[in-house]
Amino acid sequence: MLVICLLIAIAAWLFMALNNKYVYTAKTVLKYENIPQKKAFHPLQSDTVDLQVEGTGWQLLFARLRIRPQSISISLEKLNNRNFILFSEQLYHVNRQLETSQKIISVKPDTLYFDFSQKKVKRVPVKLVSRINFMKQYGVSDPIEITPDYVTISGPEQELEKIKEWRTDSLKLNDIQHTTKTMVGMEQSKMKNVSIFPASAEVRIPVDEFTEKVLEVPVKVINNRDYYSIKLYPRKVKITFLVALSKYHLVNEEFIEAVVDINEWKELNHGRLSVKIMRFPDFCKMLQIAPAKLDFIIEK
């Protein structure tokens, strides 16, 4: 009974203690809103600040265990007239973003400083990030279309110079067997002072059923500057590939160029020459070259 009473007393004391008010520190990440439209800004400090929060012991306990703290938004409207932001002027706005039982007393640092430059505008191509799986015997029959294929970015000139393209969010599609249109978002800017427009694009994926086709293609010799004649055996190779049904009759041997390099014998002393494909349709998929190596006879 003594032990039970002791445990009840400890539980009651712990409950009352955790219900009391305490001041504790919580780290949080800043999000900017009301960004100046005609200025490109660069924060001169980290986007993580320490909040001095008044809350219950329960909140203190969970704040200590929190792995990814809640972010807060601050207004940059004052940057139109000066180069710093005071948290003390926005405590009311910040407190409205937290739980009603919590209250921010102060922020460290209280002042955020910014560096300004003239805002520049630049257009860069969109790079699609995708992982697309097709049903068996189906695939992309034409280049994937992205609309728009360029985005407009704005920000400080030194930041824009580093950006050569803009990636999309990862597009994941499975078991595709028909031409597909979908929307994909642009990757969020990792730089708070760089903005992007538009925020999404339309992606069209032309899909067709593929079938196997075999063509006999003549083989050419390249880098022959020293010999009168080089005879290949055989003179043609069989190229086996997959082609979309809609383009089956369009693809012939003129679309494919096969070569062997005589330097493979001169410099590497290979007894047979490897067949290399120098030209091949983008909308086809190579399966096999037969034979892959050729015998040859040189006439000086």
Contact 152, 293 (CB under 8 A): no
Q: State how far the alpha carbon of 78 is from the alpha carbons of 28, 115, 220, 227, 272, in Å.
A: 22, 14, 70, 78, 75
Which of the two residues, 158 and 197, has the higher pLDDT score?
A: 197
Q: Tell me the pLDDT tens digit for each residue of 127-143.
A: 999 999 999 889 888 88
Enter the pTM of the model: 0.56
C-alpha 211/C-alpha 99 separation (Å) is: 61
Could you tell me how many helices (H) and strands (E) the chain has, helices first? 5, 24
Q: Tell me the pLDDT tens digit for each residue of 30-78.
A: 888 887 776 666 677 777 888 777 766 566 655 554 434 467 788 888 8
C-alpha 41/C-alpha 152 separation (Å) is: 18
20's CB contacts (< 8 A; 6+ apart) are 56, 57
Q: Tell me the pLDDT tens digit for each residue of 277-289.
A: 999 988 888 999 9
Q: Is 12's pLDDT higher than 50?
A: yes
Mean of the per-residue pLDDT values for the chain?
A: 83
Q: Tokens 């930041």 correspond to what residue?
A: 159
C-alpha 34/C-alpha 97 separation (Å) is: 16
